[in-house]
Structure 1
Amino acid sequence: VATRPGTLMSAANAITVHLTGRGGHGAMAQVEGNVVLALSHLVPRLGEVVAGLSFEGTDCACSAGVVRAGTANNVVPRVATALGTLRTFTPDHLDVALERLRRLVAEVGSAFGVAASFELGESAPAVVNDTAVVARVLDVAARLVGHDAVLVTPPVAPSDDVAELLGRVAGCYLFVGGALADGSSGMHHGPDFAVD
């Protein structure tokens, strides 16, 4: 069992980056106006948006999970899109990250001659545990599974919309460890995740 008082998990903001260019034949694809080339330069740089931003030793995160462009192998499309996530722990982190994202998107758009913008989608606040409730949970967990199996964890970058509930009612979000008999188990959302 692992949890902590105060901020346990980051806030999450869905981001969508839109690029629009002139498109054209793949055999005549120039750098200017090529949204695929622009997107291929932007996506690996998303980490720059949160560089140096951390909370109690845990880094903020920004990454893309979906990249879309084109439908034919010999056509440079007019539109490309990246969908991603921005994870921050404080309102100040979010403000800094959004300004950096704005500058990055504008820079890439200008460098490749494409119209570039981004928008925020769904969001969830940081998961913040109530200190008194956490103390009780840690005490009960230690009696149930033993002190060695109870951890006060550092903050983590994943998020959960239970934050909405914890913003209204004092509570405690916690992690319960699990693994297969051989001790293996992948991370949530990963292909190797398994619970026995």
Structure 2
Amino acid sequence: MSGGGAWLARAEALSERLVSVRRRLHRFPELSFEERETARIVAERLTGLGLSCRTGVGGHGVVADIVGDPAGPVVALRADMDALPIAEETGLPFASERPGAMHACGHDAHTAMLLGAAELLTEERAKLKGTVRLVFQSAEEINEGAKAMIEAGVLDGVDEIYGLHNLPTLSAGLTSVRPGPLMGSVDRIEIAVEGKGAHGAIPDQGIDPIVCASAIVLSLQSLVSRETSPFDPVVVTIGSIRAGEANNVIPSACTMTGTVRAFDPEVRRELSGRIERVVTRIAEGYRCRASVTYIRQTAVLVNDAEAARRVGEAIDAVAGADRRLTAAPTLAGEDFSEYLKHVPGCFFWLGSGPERDAEHAFGLHHPRYELNEACLPLGAALLAGIAASRLEEGPLHEPQAAGEGGISP
């Protein structure tokens, strides 16, 4: 089996191919659950490596197994494929040719990296101590793809799962990982406020839902500042408010949508009831009626502590210990968390920013986001190295003996 440094040397030899496929995908981005051409390219390349693919998994997902020792464990590697509804402003020669769509989160790079890892691992297939499952996922951006893949059986037989995400505010060549909670839960709220329309010059003849909605927005922040411990990170953000058409008319209704993020599962469970209480009672005080639709999307992303330690060791072997940092927790969300609810694993950051002043680079989801393609070989090498080393090392956790929390036969 290749050593850590050998994975990177071999991945660097693939650099031109990795850049080529990434730019092809970047030029023709596809939104969530529309990744038909992306999936076709992925399947075509995997088939070219002699792998048998399942397509149309959980939308347009593609799954393939690299089987070494069929009696060994199964380690999964995941990449997401979808783009965002953002108009690109980079001016790159391979910029998006599809108006209003852009790979502003780097999923084109993730796909290219996993294809590179597939090539590296296929060359070492005979030495693998088990099976590597390649998971190319649809619809991460709308928090639906992982659930759909799981429902389609992608985790059947899987012992562990690993994935990465590029980070443009971290210089290419660097990585960061942490055990335990890494990314927040993601929930959506939809609020409808009903008042009574009237002339804007005669407000006493109406019931103003805009004034009510304004009070609701401000009051929701008290859930963070006055009802949640300062040691429990929580964000409640209203991202859209829609009401009325004319400047001199009080509309009869107002709608709002927002996102709710938390880092503790118990805090997350409590937030829905608290939000409904604040919204409905504030509305009553303003003579309006209000309703809340609370949509749970993805859980807190919690890395298995032992898996994170092993990923750190693999990073040290492939890239060097000086290339590994400790990741800071963030309330940004990722539906990789759904896989981690079922099997242990680890998700980590891969630097994709400029070598200098990366912290000032345009971030993820920005129309001028740019990926430093120097990160592509390292990403491919890390994915391959992590999977191969995990198969070599054996299970993360020893089964519990009876009397130690296990169940006696």
Fold-level similarity (TM above 0.5): yes
- The 3-state SS of whatever aligns with 1:83 is strand
Please tell me the residue identity of whatever aligns with 2:289: A
Q: 1:26 to 1:86 in 2, by over 3 A?
A: same
* 1:137-159 deviation per Cα after TM superposition (whole angstroms, max 9, x unaligned): 11121233333332222432111
Kept in 1: contact 2:240–2:257 (CA 8 A)? yes
Question: What's the counterpart of residue 93 of structure 1?
Answer: 267
CA drift of 1:54 comes to 5.7
Distance 1:31 1:45 in 2: 26
Instruction: Please show how residues 18-97 of structure 1 align to structure 2 within 5 Å.
Output: 18-30=192-204, 33-51=207-225, 53=228, 57=231, 59-97=233-271
Please tell me the residue identity of whatever aligns with 2:228: L
Distance 2:284 2:365 in 1: 35
Name the one with the larger strand percent.
1
- The 3-state SS of whatever aligns with 1:33 is coil
CA drift of 1:17 comes to 1.1
TM-score scaled by length of structure 2: 0.44
- The 3-state SS of whatever aligns with 1:121 is strand
* Larger Rg, first or second structure (1 or 2): 2
CA drift of 1:31 comes to 9.4
Question: What's the counterpart of residue 186 of structure 1?
Answer: 362
Q: 1:31 to 1:160 in 2, by over 3 A?
A: farther
Instruction: Give structure 2 stretches of 5+ with no counterpart.
Output: 1-174, 373-409
Q: CA RMSD in A?
A: 2.3
Kept in 2: contact 1:31–1:112 (CA 8 A)? no
Q: 1:107 to 1:31 in 2, by over 3 A?
A: farther
Instruction: Please show how residues 134-145 of structure 1 align to structure 2 within 5 Å.
Output: 134-145=308-319
CA drift of 1:45 comes to 3.0
CA drift of 1:33 comes to 1.6
Question: What's the counterpart of residue 146 of structure 1?
Answer: 320
Distance 1:54 1:176 in 2: 31
Please tell me the residue identity of whatever aligns with 2:209: V
Kept in 2: contact 1:7–1:128 (CA 8 A)? yes
CA drift of 1:181 comes to 5.4
Distance 1:54 1:159 in 2: 21
| Count of residue pairs the alignment pairs up | 195
CA drift of 1:190 comes to 3.8
Instruction: Give structure 1 stretches of 5+ with no counterpart.
Output: none
- The 3-state SS of whatever aligns with 2:201 is helix
CA drift of 1:23 comes to 1.3
Please tell me the residue identity of whatever aligns with 1:195: L
- The 3-state SS of whatever aligns with 1:177 is strand
CA drift of 1:35 comes to 0.6
94-103 or 61-70: which moved more?
94-103
